[in-house]
Amino acid sequence: MAQTEYTLPRPSFDKPVKLLIVVAPFYRDIADGLIAGARAEIEAAGATHDLIEVPGALELPTAIQIADRTSNFDGFVALGCVIRGETTHYETVCNDSSRGLMELGLRGLCIGNGILTVENFDQAEARANPEKMNKGGGAAAAALHLVALSRKWGGSEKPVGFLPREDYKLAGDPDEGPVKA
């Protein structure tokens, strides 16, 4: 049975978009392919980008959190490659880097996850190559789609938690509960 993959149409933007590509270049050739694919997708969407490098995949979420807190990027592209080795370190790096990115995403950051988690170097090469699977381009496209979605639903965030009724005030003693104003 033949399988087909669907790719969403590239989003368009009324205002400029600036992404930060954060890459862990442990495998330099793989990282370069991922970066090339991401850059091509970002430029095709009319967006701009900056690029920074971090020591490894585990540092990607932290670098993105720092950049979000201190800079003005609309979204982020996380790129790296983890190849299975002989120890359980592979599972730790794969799970924790992805979990960190997911937590940031659930807090509202627009992140495309381009961390390859593969069994061998050949799999990594095929996925990083912009002429083949182009996972760097896919991660950039994901970030761009999330930026577009965020702008579509823009505005201020809804408050979290409970708000007291306006006709009640809280008593000084927590055991007394609300008191009619």
DSSP reduced 3-state for 28: helix
CATH fold of 18-154, please?
Rossmann fold (3.40.50)
Q: Percent helix, strand, coil in the chain (nearest 5)?
A: 40, 20, 40
Assess whether 49 carries a catalytic annotation: no
Give the mean pLDDT of 144-149.
98
Give the mean pLDDT of 63-76.
97
Highest mean pLDDT among 112-116, 166-170, 176-180 belongs to 112-116
Q: Which of 43, 46, 50, 89 is catalytic?
A: 89
Tell me the residue type at 147.
V
CB-based contacts of 120: which residues, under 8 Å, 6+ apart? 83, 84
Digit-coded pLDDT (tens) for 77-99: 999 999 999 999 999 999 999 99
Work out the angle at residue 9's Cα, subtended by the Cα atoms of residues 32 and 29, and round it to the nearest 5 degrees. Answer: 10
Digit-coded pLDDT (tens) for 33-51: 999 999 999 999 999 999 9
Asked whether residue 155 carries a pLDDT value surpassing 80, the answer given is: no
* Domain layout of the chain by residue ranges: 18-154
Asked whether residue 139 carries a pLDDT value surpassing 70, the answer given is: yes
In the structure, what pLDDT confidence band is assigned to residue 5 with cuts at 50, 70 and 90?
confident
Q: 143 is written with which tokens?
A: 């970030």
